[in-house]
């Protein structure tokens, strides 16, 4: 009897702790479900745009189709069209999507611990990576509970990838009101951010305190949104994990519309389609069939289309036309050619140096000695780390010429534990479960030290999303980028460190990267 009463009491308290349901959003009403922690309510698979199918394939996202009754938002929506694989080392289960795929994929998810709609908690909208060819909110590491438990309203969004997200063609350009084509995946992101602006207050979030964040292609998306006039006013802070460098990050130059259109024509021809109508009539399975040997075109990436991106990301930043918001960005120790166990030989390293650095190769080899294989293996890592950190620092210094807000850079050094830790170390994406506080979504052998690192790093992210400054009580001070050439090392050894191993090395990279 006493046990039953206690269970009833706990259920009652939990119900009172959750935000009032159902919640009325654009399109209809939704009801959420308790997350693992009953103090968090999760709303999964909420449509934010009409399904981009039929005539809406390769079209800017359209208003969501209203529904009747209450939609039970208890399940993640399908992933956008891509090839689903269980793992692709070093990316194991927790870094991959595992659900069905569909063109009807424009859904988002919200996690909140707010007890009422009046709380105005800061909001973080996370954008997945995957080289613009894959990725999904169904990737376990992107679960939103970890940061919702620390005070944020967490949102993850789906966007079209591959040929369905970044396909340009003269016929598509002609039919569009904006007289552009491509960038559909990025337009999906804008549509999702507009949904957040219009609806997030009902989940206890503050539409005036939205941070956009993403990793890899998600970071490239963040950089593009910062540069896009279509995203103006939709966010006030930005986090780009792997990241931003002197040229502005992955895809900063973009592809000119005319070039992207020609690629689209090549793709359509390879598919045997004489018109966009014929392409739209094909099944997605037919569209994604491999092209004949030597076939090209169709996939694309960021496009300088005159609308979403009037200029490239780099040009936008140089002209000071970006959305000027505090930015946090950085790179990982195991990126850019660095690895825990390099296998390069002295001869190969020297040959690569001569090919890459030309008349500066001798200067490079004096700074990074490689007379023996052992020296070369040390040099390949040290030169990679120095280049990455200096590139991010110089990007931030260049940014400061036109921006009034602060930038913070980092260098992630913690190896993700597991049987392959010695092989892959702090590889590309390995910081995500720590930054999002989602170690619980992985079966890796995490220790108390790992959980401590996750708490520290996710606290930096939460503080930044809350105030535009990662610093807070109990954390090692993270300096904003200034005249001093330093970055913040996070993970195993938190603290500010020089971006390069010596003044001479810094000078070399500055000359090389600004050439």
- HSE toward the beta carbon, residue 495, CA cutoff 13 A: 4
DSSP state of 333: T
SS3 379: helix
Q: Of 94, 261, 335, 489, which is the active-site residue?
A: 335
Indicate if 216 belongs to the active site: yes
Pairing of strands 153-157, 107-112: antiparallel
The span from the CA of 257 to the CA of 97, in Å, is 31
The pLDDT score that the predictor gives to residue 253 is 67
DSSP state of 79: B
* Selection from 200, 228, 226 nearest residue 213 by Cα: 226
SS3 126: strand
The span from the CA of 174 to the CA of 111, in Å, is 40
DSSP state of 479: P
Q: Answer whether 385's CB lies under 8 Å from 410's CB.
A: no
Polymer length of the chain: 515
Q: Answer whether 233's CB lies under 8 Å from 208's CB.
A: no
Angstrom CA distances, 65 to 46, 198, 202, 203, stand at 11, 16, 20, 21
The pLDDT score that the predictor gives to residue 256 is 92
Start-end of H helices in 346-447: 346-357, 361-367, 373-399, 421-424, 432-435
The span from the CA of 363 to the CA of 344, in Å, is 20
Angstrom CA distances, 293 to 164, 290, 296, 512, stand at 21, 9, 9, 38
Angle between helices 217-227 and 184-199 (to 10 degrees): 70
Q: Answer whether 481's CB lies under 8 Å from 409's CB.
A: yes
DSSP state of 427: B
Architecture per CATH, domain 330-513, reads as 3-Layer(aba) Sandwich (3.40)
Angstrom CA distances, 478 to 428, 481, 487, 488, 497, stand at 22, 9, 8, 6, 10
Angstrom CA distances, 109 to 127, 152, 166, 192, 295, stand at 12, 13, 23, 10, 37
The span from the CA of 339 to the CA of 422, in Å, is 9
The pLDDT score that the predictor gives to residue 336 is 86
The pLDDT score that the predictor gives to residue 6 is 33
Residue 118 neighbours by CB distance under 10 Å: 8
Angstrom CA distances, 149 to 37, 121, 279, 459, stand at 8, 12, 45, 11
The token pair at 162 is: 């591959």
Q: Specify the domain boundaries for CATH 3.40.50.1820 within the chain.
A: 22-325, 330-513
The span from the CA of 243 to the CA of 332, in Å, is 9
DSSP state of 337: T
178: burial class by Cβ within 10 Å (0-12, 13-18, 19+)? Answer: middle
Residues β-bridged to residue 241: 215, 330
**Which residue do the tokens 């964040």 mark?**
213
Q: Answer whether 330's CB lies under 8 Å from 434's CB.
A: no
| Topology classification of domain 22-325 | Rossmann fold (3.40.50)
DSSP state of 290: P
pLDDT per position in the chain (515 positions), as tens?
444 433 333 333 344 457 889 999 999 999 999 999 999 999 999 999 999 999 999 999 999 999 999 999 999 999 999 999 888 899 999 999 999 999 999 999 999 999 999 999 999 999 999 999 999 999 999 999 999 999 999 999 999 999 999 999 999 999 999 999 999 999 999 999 999 999 999 999 999 999 999 999 999 999 999 999 999 999 999 999 998 765 444 455 678 999 999 999 999 999 999 999 999 999 999 999 887 654 455 566 899 999 999 999 989 999 999 999 999 999 999 998 899 999 999 999 999 999 999 999 999 999 999 999 999 999 999 999 999 999 999 999 999 999 999 999 999 999 999 989 999 999 999 999 999 999 999 999 999 999 999 999 999 999 999 999 999 999 999 999 999 999 999 999 999 999 999 999 999 999 999 87
The token pair at 32 is: 């959420």
The span from the CA of 367 to the CA of 4, in Å, is 72
Indicate if 502 belongs to the active site: no
Give first-to-last CA distance, the chain, whole Å: 77
Q: Of 216, 220, 312, 383, which is the active-site residue?
A: 216
Q: Of 220, 428, 486, 489, which is the active-site residue?
A: 428
The pLDDT score that the predictor gives to residue 17 is 55
> Helix/strand/coil (H, E, C) string of 87-103?
CECCECHHHCCCCCECC
Start-end of H helices in 41-136: none
394: burial class by Cβ within 10 Å (0-12, 13-18, 19+)? Answer: buried
* pLDDT one-digit tens code per residue, 262-283: 999 999 999 999 999 999 999 9
Rounded to the nearest angstrom, the gap between the alpha carbon of residue 236 and the centroid of all alpha carbons in its chain is 16
The token pair at 142 is: 């992107």
The pLDDT score that the predictor gives to residue 8 is 36
Indicate if 14 belongs to the active site: no
């Amino acid at each position: 009897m006493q046990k039953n009463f206690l269970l009833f009491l706990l259920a009652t308290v939990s119900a009172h702790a959750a935000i009032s349901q159902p919640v009325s959003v654009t399109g209809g009403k939704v009801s959420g479900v308790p997350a693992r922690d009953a103090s968090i309510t999760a709303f999964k698979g909420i449509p934010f745009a009409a399904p981009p199918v039929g005539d809406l394939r390769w079209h800017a996202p359209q208003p969501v189709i209203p529904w009747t009754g209450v939609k039970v938002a208890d399940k993640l929506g399908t992933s956008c069209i891509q090839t689903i694989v269980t793992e692709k080392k070093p990316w194991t289960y927790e870094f991959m999507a595992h659900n069905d795929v569909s063109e009807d994929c424009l859904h988002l998810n919200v996690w909140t611990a707010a007890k009422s709609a009046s709380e105005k908690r800061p909001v973080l909208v996370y954008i997945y990576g995957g080289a613009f060819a894959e990725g999904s909110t169904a990737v376990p590491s992107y679960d939103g509970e970890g940061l919702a438990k620390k005070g944020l309203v967490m949102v993850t969004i789906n966007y079209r990838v591959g040929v369905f997200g970044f396909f340009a063609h003269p016929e598509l350009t002609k039919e569009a009101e904006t007289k552009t084509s491509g960038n559909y995946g990025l337009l999906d992101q804008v549509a999702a951010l507009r949904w957040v602006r219009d609806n997030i207050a009902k989940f206890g979030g503050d539409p005036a305190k939205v941070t956009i964040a993403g990793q890899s292609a998600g970071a490239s998306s963040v950089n593009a949104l910062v540069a896009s006039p279509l995203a103006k006013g939709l966010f006030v802070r930005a986090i780009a994990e792997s990241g931003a460098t002197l040229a502005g990050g992955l895809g900063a130059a973009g592809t000119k519309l005319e070039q992207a259109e020609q690629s689209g024509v090549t793709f359509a021809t390879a598919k045997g389609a004489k018109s966009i109508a014929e392409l739209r009539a094909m099944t997605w399975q037919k569209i994604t069939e491999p092209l004949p040997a030597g076939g090209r075109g169709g996939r694309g990436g960021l496009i300088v289309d005159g609308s979403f991106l009037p200029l490239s990301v780099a040009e936008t930043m140089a002209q000071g036309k970006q959305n000027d918001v505090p930015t946090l960005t950085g790179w990982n120790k195991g990126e850019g050619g660095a690895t825990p166990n390099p296998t390069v030989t002295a001869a190969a390293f020297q040959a690569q140096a001569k090919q890459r650095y030309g008349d500066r190769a001798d200067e490079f080899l004096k700074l990074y000695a490689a007379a023996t294989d052992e020296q070369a293996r040390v040099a390949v890592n040290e030169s990679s780390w120095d280049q990455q950190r200096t590139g991010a620092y110089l990007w931030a210094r260049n940014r400061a010429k036109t921006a009034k807000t602060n930038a913070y850079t980092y260098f992630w050094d913690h190896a993700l534990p597991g049987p392959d830790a010695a092989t892959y170390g702090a590889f590309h994406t390995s910081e995500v479960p720590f930054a999002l506080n989602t170690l619980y979504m992985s079966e890796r052998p995490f220790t108390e030290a790992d959980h401590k690192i996750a708490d520290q790093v996710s606290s930096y992210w939460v503080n930044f999303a809350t105030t535009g400054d990662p610093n807070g009580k109990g954390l090692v001070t993270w300096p904003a980028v200034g005249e001093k050439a330093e970055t913040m090392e996070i993970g195993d050894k938190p603290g500010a460190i020089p971006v390069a191993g010596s003044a001479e090395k810094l000078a070399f990279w500055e000359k090389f990267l600004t050439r």
